[in-house]
Chain A
Amino acid sequence: MTDKGPPDLAERAFRRRRRQDAALVLPIFGVVIFITPIFTIFTKDVLIFGAPLPFLFIFGFWFLLILLARRMSRILTKGDEGH
């Protein structure tokens, strides 16, 4: 058994459930960023490296969400197959 191998079934089930809960956290994170007043903190009319901050903020977080979703999708699918 490798050090990453889950020790027993209960532990494995727990980890799988945690992965699935994490899948819920991601869209909530997106909602918090984009449609709560937190959004207004970053939408000031300021230029950073010549680009407006709101533009960088929206597209930056958008891309971050996509990267996280990709990682999450791999983790979830892998867990599914292991099951």
Chain B
Amino acid sequence: MLTFNILIAASTAYVALLFAVAFWAERRARAGRLGWLRSPLVYTLSISVYCTAWTFYGAVGSAARNGLEFVTIYLGPTLVFIGWWWLLRKLLRIGRTQRITSIADLISSRYGKSATLGVVVTLLAVISSTPYIALQLQSITTSFSVFSPTDGAGFADEKVSAFWIAAVLAVFTILFGTRNVDANERHHGVVTAIALEALVKLFALLAVGIFVVWGISDGPADIFSRMPPDMLQADSIFNPRWVALTFLSATAIITLPRMFQVTIVENSDERHLSVASWAFPLYLFLMSLSVLPIAIAGQSILPAGSNPDLFVLTVPLAEGQNALALFAFLGGFSSATSMVIVAAIALSTMVSNHIVMPLWISSGKGRISTSGDVRSVLLRSRRASIAGLLLLGYFYFRVTGGSNALASIGLISFAGVAQVLPSLIGGIFWRSATRTGALAGLIVGFIIWAYTLFLPSFEGSFLLSSNVIDNGPFGLTWLRPQELLGLTEYDPLVHSLFWSLGINIALFVGLSLIVTPRQLERIQGAQFVDVFRQTGGGGAGIVIRRSATSEDLFTLAQRILGTTHAHRLFTQAAGEQGKHAGLPDSTDKFIERLERELAGSVGAASAHAMVSQVAGGGTVSVEELMKIADETAQVMEYSQQLEVQSRELAESAHKLRQANAQLTELGAQKDAFLSQISHELRTPMTSIKSFAEILRDTNDISSEQSNRFIDIINTESQRLTRLLDEILDLSFLESGRVNWQLEPVSLNTVFDRALASSEGLRASAGVKVTRKGFDDIMVTADFDRLAQVFINLISNAIKYGRAENPEVRITARKVGKVAIIGIVDNGPGIRPEDREKVFEKFSRLSEITLAGSAGLGLPISREIMRNLNGELTIEENAPGAVFRITLPLG
């Protein structure tokens, strides 16, 4: 016979075992030998803290009452976990990069490290979790009472037993849950104990299931044949409530503070999540497998009217399986205790970080100069919160008297924390989500939840009287809590969920679109939404003017992180800054890192407030950003100016190079000119000299011969004189010191003069000169100089236009305001490559064209033409040489 004393002894031994396991794990972790303690398996088992006493006892009760509906509570989390890649993985990465300590911290940190949001989410979580903690206490005391009435040796009062259970749980949680102030440091002891409890509850439920299927009946077919005909309620199972419950449980696995604690905060390796993505659904699957058979067995074996919430215990007891019943009892005990422990840790972190810490900072005691040890404040507040939360749960249990069905309390709690969902999902996928939207959505959603679901659950004993619940406040029926605006078709849960979440989402989205977010919100929003695009640290890298000294920061860090940790952090940072000793510089990067480190202990909002207090003005003001932008613009402008200048410099350098090349070329030309000129002068000089020598040295020279020699000397000296005249003339022209007498001259007259001058030459060469179109063309020119040009050109044409019947044609016509004169011979012409060279002084053209010439005639002519505002060019389109003169009309 299973006596009550045995039960007490067994549960005490079990609790002692948990203490021992937690202690052992903590010691191993401290020694650095974590091994399998940090494995995907332990991680998955710790997530199973989702399965509370509500699952263990309540699922069977739910199956007995509502058929397959209990499955929804496990299908929701299954869907979330198999979709881990899209949501949980992102949450996990954000949790790690931002050192998130709780769901309240996540929301607060995302929306600009808002302290207000932290408080709101914390209150929401505490209010909706308290009934849940009470539920666990109730389930333990009820399960005790299952064993006690038979011999009357049980607890004198259920309420006393609940108190002692709460006290023991508080001690365990304080001992193993508040060892470290850094919430990001894993609670290895707690997690290991919870993993053990997860195994106990799984095997206990499976054991009862197996006993029911193969012990009581003959296998699955037999047990299903005992099923009452309409138990599954299969035909009506798919309805709004089914969808709502699945959705609600999927939400709960993300937003419940304890689930966030084990899934995100306690996670040590992202790869563990990939295993848990299928292993946790498998755990839920196995837990659910036994539920239906146990419910069927309970209904068929036990007398009608038995509490179906206790079938897990009463079925083995009725069959005389005391050991199995004890095992089942321990399973239920495990489910309840693990939930309470983790929930207490998660909630106490939130309370201490988001309520106690901000109060402490603003009360003035947080002044770094006068404060005591922040660590001890944190730890004390956390311990006090744990005790307070369990006490709150205990009072709730006493007030409600444990009257409600287990399942409904659980669902009310789920619906409460589900209000966080819009801000959470919006916060990590939508950059434009703002603090105002989140705050309004949360508060209003929470109020509607309280009004339509939470308060009515007291059935008139708390705040809302039963009259108000039935008829609405002040008799306003359209405000009836469970039938808002006359929406009567749905059950209270779906009704409440629809209104609270609907208005929550509407406010969240609407206000986010209207209100402009603050700078810090935008920065945080970008860091959360684009968490996978950031590499290393994820710093926003915004320059903020700080006035913090490293000493102040060290004092702050020391008080929160402890001397050892702070020392290690600062030494490391100094090393990274290249300092071998002393404190690191308080650079923005370092301050940001320190803030994140502190956030791991006190939450983002508090850490931000503290660091800002020390560092002075942590937020980036718009003015500051404008200034930064301004400076950037100036720098850009300056660099543009530099660019322009350097381009100009490059241009002038290029021009200089060109000028240099021209000068070099000119120098070479001058050298060539000099050597040419000496050559040209030398030729007549040589013949003059040699004939003069012959005349002097030869005595017997005939007079006829001497006359010829003297004639040659005369001709050559004339040629020499002409050459020198030409050189002088050219340099005179080029120097620009000529007085030009520009007047209207008749082309005919100029040509008559030119032809007269060249008559001797023409006659000797037998050249025929024709003239065409000269009637009455008057041009503006200097008569003598123009005649000189014509003489030059005509003599050139006569000299070089060597043909069988040499002919020079001269044409003139008016085109617009200019006269164009062409001088064409029928000789061999000038080769294209020589065409510009003929205008160069003494250029060496091919022998046929300009052999023996001093070659100054054409350069002089061109110079004259330019000074007469005309032009002298060579045309290409003729067999002979074609020179063209352009002159303004007179």
Residues of A within 8 A of B (CB): 20, 23-24, 26-27, 30-31, 34-35, 37, 39-40, 43-45, 47, 49-55, 58-59, 62-63, 65-70, 72-73, 76-77
Bound: A24/B82 CA distance, A: 9
A27, A49, A59: the one contacting B285 at CB < 8 Å is A59
26 contacts between A and B (CB under 8 A): A20-B85, A26-B82, A27-B80, A35-B75, A43-B68, A43-B235, A43-B237, A44-B234, A45-B235, A51-B220, A51-B224, A54-B68, A55-B68, A55-B292, A58-B68, A58-B71, A59-B285, A59-B288, A62-B285, A66-B82, A66-B278, A69-B82, A73-B84, A76-B85, A76-B274, A77-B274
| Contact in complex: A43, B238 (CB < 8 Å) | yes
Query: Do A50 and B232 form a contact, CB below 8 Å, given A35-B243, A76-B85, A76-B274?
Result: no
| Contact in complex: A51, B221 (CB < 8 Å) | yes
Contact bitstring B65-76, A, C-beta under 8 A = 1, else 0:
000100100010
| Contact in complex: A69, B68 (CB < 8 Å) | no
Q: Is the interface of B mostly helix, strand, loop or mixed?
A: helix
CB of A31 to closest CB in B, whole Å: 6
Asked if B242 CB lies within 8 Å of chain A CBs, one says yes
| Contact in complex: B275, A69 (CB < 8 Å) | no
CB of B731 to closest CB in A, whole Å: 75
| Contact in complex: A23, B86 (CB < 8 Å) | yes
B85, B221, B225, B232: the one contacting A23 at CB < 8 Å is B85
What are the 4 A-B residue pairs with the smallest beta carbon separation, nearest first?
Answer: A50-B221, A27-B83, A23-B85, A70-B278
CB of B460 to closest CB in A, whole Å: 34
Q: A45 contacts which chain B residues (CB < 8 A)?
A: 232, 234-235
Bound: A37/B629 CA distance, A: 56
Q: B277 contacts which chain A residues (CB < 8 A)?
A: 69, 72-73
CB of A22 to closest CB in B, whole Å: 9
CB of B678 to closest CB in A, whole Å: 75
Bound: A47/B616 CA distance, A: 72
Given A27-B83, A54-B237, 11 additional A-B pairs, CB 8 A: A26-B83, A27-B80, A35-B242, A35-B246, A40-B238, A43-B68, A45-B235, A54-B232, A59-B289, A70-B278, A73-B84
Task: Specify the chain B residue showing the minimal Cβ separation from A53.
Answer: B234
CB of B570 to closest CB in A, whole Å: 35
A24, A39, A47, A58: the one contacting B224 at CB < 8 Å is A47
Q: B224 contacts which chain A residues (CB < 8 A)?
A: 47, 50-52, 55
| Contact in complex: B79, A30 (CB < 8 Å) | yes
| Contact in complex: B278, A69 (CB < 8 Å) | yes
Bound: A20/B90 CA distance, A: 13
Bound: A53/B220 CA distance, A: 13
Q: B242 contacts which chain A residues (CB < 8 A)?
A: 35, 39
Bound: A30/B80 CA distance, A: 10
Contact residues, B234-290 vs A (CB, 8 A):
234-235, 237-238, 242-243, 246-247, 271, 274-275, 277-278, 281-282, 285, 288-289
Bound: A27/B79 CA distance, A: 5
Task: Specify the chain A residue showing the minimal Cβ separation from B227.
Answer: A52
Contact bitstring B665-708, A, C-beta under 8 A = 1, else 0:
00000000000000000000000000000000000000000000
Query: Do A62 and B78 form a contact, CB below 8 Å, given A26-B83, A55-B232?
Result: yes
Q: Is the interface of A mostly helix, strand, loop or mixed?
A: helix
CB of A45 to closest CB in B, whole Å: 5
Q: A63 contacts which chain B residues (CB < 8 A)?
A: 285
Bound: A1/B237 CA distance, A: 54
Bound: A26/B85 CA distance, A: 10
Asked if B211 CB lies within 8 Å of chain A CBs, one says no
Bound: A77/B84 CA distance, A: 12
Q: B246 contacts which chain A residues (CB < 8 A)?
A: 34-35
| Contact in complex: A52, B234 (CB < 8 Å) | yes
CB of B86 to closest CB in A, whole Å: 6
Task: Specify the chain A residue showing the minimal Cβ separation from B273.
Answer: A73
A31, A49, A59: the one contacting B79 at CB < 8 Å is A31
Asked if B329 CB lies within 8 Å of chain A CBs, one says no
Task: Specify the chain B residue showing the minimal Cβ separation from A81.
Answer: B271
Q: B220 contacts which chain A residues (CB < 8 A)?
A: 50-51
Q: A26 contacts which chain B residues (CB < 8 A)?
A: 82-83
Q: B281 contacts which chain A residues (CB < 8 A)?
A: 62, 65-66, 69
Q: A58 contacts which chain B residues (CB < 8 A)?
A: 68, 71, 75
Q: A66 contacts which chain B residues (CB < 8 A)?
A: 78, 82, 278, 281-282, 285
Task: Specify the chain B residue showing the minimal Cβ separation from A28.
Answer: B83
Q: A53 contacts which chain B residues (CB < 8 A)?
A: 234
Bound: A31/B86 CA distance, A: 15
Task: Specify the chain A residue showing the minimal Cβ separation from B247.
Answer: A35
Q: A69 contacts which chain B residues (CB < 8 A)?
A: 81-82, 277-278, 281
Contact bitstring B209-240, A, C-beta under 8 A = 1, else 0:
00000000000111011010000101101100
| Contact in complex: A27, B68 (CB < 8 Å) | no
Q: B278 contacts which chain A residues (CB < 8 A)?
A: 66-67, 69-70, 73
Q: A30 contacts which chain B residues (CB < 8 A)?
A: 75, 78-79, 82-83
CB of A29 to closest CB in B, whole Å: 9
Q: A77 contacts which chain B residues (CB < 8 A)?
A: 271, 274
Contact residues, B81-116 vs A (CB, 8 A):
81-86
Query: Do A62 and B75 form a contact, CB below 8 Å, given A43-B235, A50-B225?
Result: yes
Bound: A20/B225 CA distance, A: 44
Q: B227 contacts which chain A residues (CB < 8 A)?
A: 52
Q: B78 contacts which chain A residues (CB < 8 A)?
A: 30, 62, 65-66
Bound: A59/B238 CA distance, A: 16
Q: A37 contacts which chain B residues (CB < 8 A)?
A: 238
Q: B222 contacts which chain A residues (CB < 8 A)?
A: 50
CB of A77 to closest CB in B, whole Å: 5
| Contact in complex: A65, B234 (CB < 8 Å) | no
B82, B232, B271: the one contacting A68 at CB < 8 Å is B82
A20, A39, A65: the one contacting B238 at CB < 8 Å is A39
Bound: A43/B69 CA distance, A: 12
Bound: A44/B242 CA distance, A: 16
CB of B486 to closest CB in A, whole Å: 27
| Contact in complex: B285, A24 (CB < 8 Å) | no
Q: B275 contacts which chain A residues (CB < 8 A)?
A: 73
Q: A39 contacts which chain B residues (CB < 8 A)?
A: 237-238, 242
Bound: A49/B786 CA distance, A: 128
Interface centre among A37, A47, A58, by most B CB within 10 Å? Answer: A58
| Contact in complex: B237, A23 (CB < 8 Å) | no
Q: B232 contacts which chain A residues (CB < 8 A)?
A: 45, 52, 54-55
CB of A48 to closest CB in B, whole Å: 10
Q: B282 contacts which chain A residues (CB < 8 A)?
A: 66
Q: B71 contacts which chain A residues (CB < 8 A)?
A: 58
Interface centre among A31, A39, A44, A53, by most B CB within 10 Å? Answer: A31
